[in-house]
Amino acid sequence: MAVVNDSSEFRYLRSQAHQLGTDVPPAERIALALPDGRTLSALRFGDGDPEVTLLHGAGLNAHTWDAVVLLLDRPVIAIDLAGHGDSSWREDLDYSPAVLADDVAEALRAWTSRPQVLMGHSLGGLTASIVASWHPELVHELVLVDIVPGVDTDAAPAVLREFYTVTDFSSRDEAVDRAQQFGFGGSRSDTERGVFFNTRVRADGRVEWKHHFARIIGSAFDSLKAAHAASGGAPWAQLAGVAAPVTLVRGERGFLQDADVATFAEHLPTARIVTVAAGHNVQETAPASLAEIASGALTRVTR
């Protein structure tokens, strides 16, 4: 079992591993200098060349995948998308999937030596689909978690915009209280862990959200919606053209409606669709399902 410093960002791994009945893998934070001067940050788990790369959703960070990583027990990279976690914010405020995909492709070339099982949740799923379309040599299999192109998320931004009207707190406990008031997270301990990873302490002692979405939540979702409208049917065409096998994981209580799944099946008739008992954040509420899907993908022979 790896020795993990409890005062580090990996402080929760041991207790999570104990609850899940797994060992703690070697874990470290890595960073990549991007051509434009920004930094892309990620977590690397396990020994050997990474086999799975994980992309989180808007307002989350790489640690949202911790339980999946522990259950999968394979070499993994979990990336902090631009504007999230320890990755740099973008001055142009552009966090559209096509822009994020460029960073991910750079990272895969730098950090991996084999095609990846690329699993993306929500915004990370839209980003992953573009990576798989534009850079097929980097992707062994694509797994989309509770997202398809054009999904109607108008209700989610309304809740998030209200939540992020407060962006700094006197303590992390205060941030946890607010998150629980809005129904985010599960148990208080789960919410405390999420808040710990998603916040930082400023020089003045106040606690603030790490991710840029907290500051630009309205414009961020508006720009994502506008980008999709301007693209016409391009995202569907890109996804349908992905050479790697594709799996869609739908949370029973997630964002996807029956019509979204039907449209997905129409565009990708050979793709696999798996429904699990979970909300939108499947990786946090049903991590074993995603670990099993990733493990299965690794056992399939590359085309």
pLDDT for residue 213? 85
Is 280 among the catalytic positions? Answer: yes
pLDDT for residue 214? 86
- Do the Cβ atoms of 119 and 183 come closer than 8 Å? no
Query: Confidence class of residue 151 from pLDDT cuts 50, 70 and 90?
Result: confident
pLDDT for residue 6? 43
Is residue 205, in this structure, part of any structural domain at all? no
Terminal alpha carbon distance of the chain: 35
pLDDT for residue 159? 76
What element of type H or E holds 127? Answer: helix 123-134
Is 260 among the catalytic positions? Answer: no
Residue 114 domain boundaries: 13-151+235-299
Is residue 179, in this structure, part of any structural domain at all? no
Residue 145, both tokens: 């978690």
Nearest to 68 by CA among 284, 300, 272: 284
Domains: count for the chain: 1
Model confidence at 90: pLDDT above 70 = yes
Considering the candidates 121, 211, 212, 280, report the single residue annotated as catalytic. Answer: 280
Give the C-alpha separation, 156 to 267, whole Å: 25
pLDDT for residue 2? 43
Is 66 among the catalytic positions? Answer: no
What element of type H or E holds 30? Answer: strand 27-33
Is residue 54, in this structure, part of any structural domain at all? yes
Query: Confidence class of residue 113 from pLDDT cuts 50, 70 and 90?
Result: very high
Q: What is the mean pLDDT of the chain?
A: 90
- The one-letter code for the residue type at 174 is E
Is residue 178, in this structure, part of any structural domain at all? no
Q: pLDDT of 62-77, one tens digit each?
A: 999 999 999 999 999 9
Is residue 41, in this structure, part of any structural domain at all? yes
Considering the candidates 66, 80, 86, 146, report the single residue annotated as catalytic. Answer: 146
Is residue 193, in this structure, part of any structural domain at all? no
pLDDT for residue 4? 43
Residue 148, both tokens: 């398809």
pLDDT for residue 221? 67
Model's pTM, two decimal places? 0.92
Q: pLDDT of 190-216, one tens digit each?
A: 889 999 999 999 999 999 999 998 888
Considering the candidates 96, 122, 129, 133, report the single residue annotated as catalytic. Answer: 122
Give the C-alpha separation, 187 to 180, whole Å: 9
Q: pLDDT of 162-175, one tens digit each?
A: 888 899 999 999 99
Is residue 39, in this structure, part of any structural domain at all? yes
Give the C-alpha separation, 45 to 121, whole Å: 19
CATH code at 289? 3.40.50.1820
Nearest to 166 by CA among 181, 150, 185: 181
**Which range (35-44, 135-144, 147-156) has the least confidence?**
147-156
In the chain, the percentage of residues whose pLDDT exceeds 70 is 89
DSSP symbols for 169-190: ESSHHHHHHHHHHTT-SSSHHH
Model confidence at 303: pLDDT above 90 = no
The better pLDDT of the pair 224, 142 is held by 142
The better pLDDT of the pair 294, 229 is held by 294
Q: pLDDT of 242-293, one tens digit each?
A: 999 999 999 998 889 999 999 999 999 999 999 999 988 999 999 999 999 9
Beta bridge partners, 200, equal 208
Is residue 214, in this structure, part of any structural domain at all? no
Residue 86's CB is within 10 A of a number of other CB atoms, namely 18
